[in-house]
Structure 1
């Protein structure tokens, strides 16, 4: 049985997150673990009102699954409740490991510890903490996707990413577009890019896969325009860093309602990211810098002068 971990807050947008997870749980099928982290208790203080918070979750579940789903589908989903004191960031890794989550479904504007962060910031932080894919759902009611797009740099994509994506095929059985962007300076490498794109398509288990090799010096904007043109309903990305992930949810895109911020985004962790090595002084910077080629000077003392 698959397991979906759904972190919730008590905002109105949480209903859209749970409604999407319900539909996904029926299709896959999967059980749902609801996680709410109550920010009222500080460090060293006993948790308060946790039973009341769990009752609020149960009321939300009972209301949504019978309003949104048929009675048969609503009864089919198994729910588990986890109400903890503290911040989601403090518990996400342990809870995902405890329930062996196959997928985390969370809202784009999730509120943690009573702090309202820019859209996507909490999702980017949770992606760094858990090893399973994270599905970021923006506010609004929407059906499960009937068209998917995977936008990535397939020449540097980790070997563990594609098998992890194939494990979700039953949850998202829809046509899949593979999109590789390249800059004008990469035109001589078009053949290598095309080979990497075709190799990725051969490793995936979707029945209908269409590769696209597109020239664009701004891959993020190009990917959003591609999704809008093809009416993609789920964008899959594999960013190489947390900073690159945050670019997808940058304030300029959420303010202008860019297309990719209006559809669910499935984030695949590309690889374990090495910690950056910083130098504390100029001597350490010299030691950590890559060795440069030695400059060969003529040895005038060894020459015989007439």
Structure 2
């Protein structure tokens, strides 16, 4: 059973996030797990009463949106689960994603956590760094499911584990897929290996005949936003190398000026960290110890001291 984990608050933008998740749940199909975290300093009995009240509000919202933008038959097919927890979302989301075996986290570009409003995108970027499954960041506004997708990454350094995980989402996001790789003018001598990496990535994806584009641009973030605007893409897929690169996608200069890539859903793929090797016996432990690179120490005897 495919599972969508949807962190939600009670803002107006949350309705758009849930409406988008509903459409995904019908298309895939998938179960929807609604996660609401309520930070409160009230005593335990009062906090429990607050959570019960919030759950009733969530159920009313679900029943209203279930039939508002979907056919009645589709709305009835969606299965919901409710998880209301005390505390902050960033403290709970990792355990909840593991508990429900989430295939995808769907959350808004703007979200209130611990009673505070973070800059647009920053909170979603923090959540993407906590969970291992892909995170779909949905900006405010009504929108249909994407029919044209763009995947932008450095395919020459892309971890092999990401492509199968992206292929698992092909049923949720069918449509033409463009693979886009940018390189700077100083990297023109790398065009051949970059093009080979693009072709190898396209061959491993389950989308029918994805197209590849190797483009020169010294500002890849502005370049991908312009490319998405030019092709009228409805979904941008990214695989940032680190958290700092992910935060740059949602920088205030882009959200304030309403850059194109902040006006469409962004699917964030996170590389799975490589776990350290564990020895099963003493012989294996010796072999792993020998395989470690030797520390290079300075040769003070070779230095000519003044």
Confirm or deny a common fold (TM above 0.5): yes
Aligned-pair CA distance for 1:125:
1.0
In structure 2, runs of 5+ residues without a counterpart are 276-294
Deviations 1:72-123 (A, max 9, x none): 0000000000111110011101100110000000000011011111011111
Q: Name the CA shift for 1:218/1:293 in 2 (closer, same or farther; >3 Å).
A: farther
What is the aligned partner in structure 2 of residue 277 from structure 1? Answer: none
Alignment of 1:49-198 (within 5 A): 49-198=50-199
Preserved CA contact (<8 Å) 1:8 1:35: yes
Q: Secondary structure at the match of 1:240?
A: coil
Q: State yes or no: 1:263 paired with 2:275.
A: no
TM-score where L is the length of structure 1: 0.89
C-alpha spacing 1:232/1:294, structure 2 compared with 1 (3 Å): farther
Q: Which residue in 1 is equivalent to 2:6? A: 6
Paired position in structure 2 for 1:252: 253
Distance 1:187 1:65, change over 3 A: same
Aligned partner of 1:20 in structure 2 is: 20
Tell me how far apart the structure 2 counterparts of residues 273 and 135 of structure 1 sit (CA, whole Å): 23
Deviations 1:203-230 (A, max 9, x none): 0000130000000011110000000000
Distance 1:59 1:208 in 2: 43
Unmatched 5+ stretches in structure 1: 275-288, 299-306
CA RMSD of aligned residues (A): 2.0
Checking the alignment, whether the CA contact within 8 Å between 1:38 and 1:83 is kept in structure 2 is: yes
* Rg larger for: 1
Equivalent-residue separation in structure 2 for 1:105 and 1:147 (angstroms): 19
User: Could you tell me whether the CA contact under 8 Å between 1:41 and 1:85 is conserved in 2?
Assistant: no
For 2:52 and 2:25, the matched residues in 1 are separated by 25
Relative to 1, partners in 2 of residues 1:80 and 1:202: Cα closer, same or farther, differing over 3 Å?
Answer: same
The list of structure 1 runs, each at least 4 consecutive aligned residues, that deviate by more than 3 angstroms after superposition, is 289-298
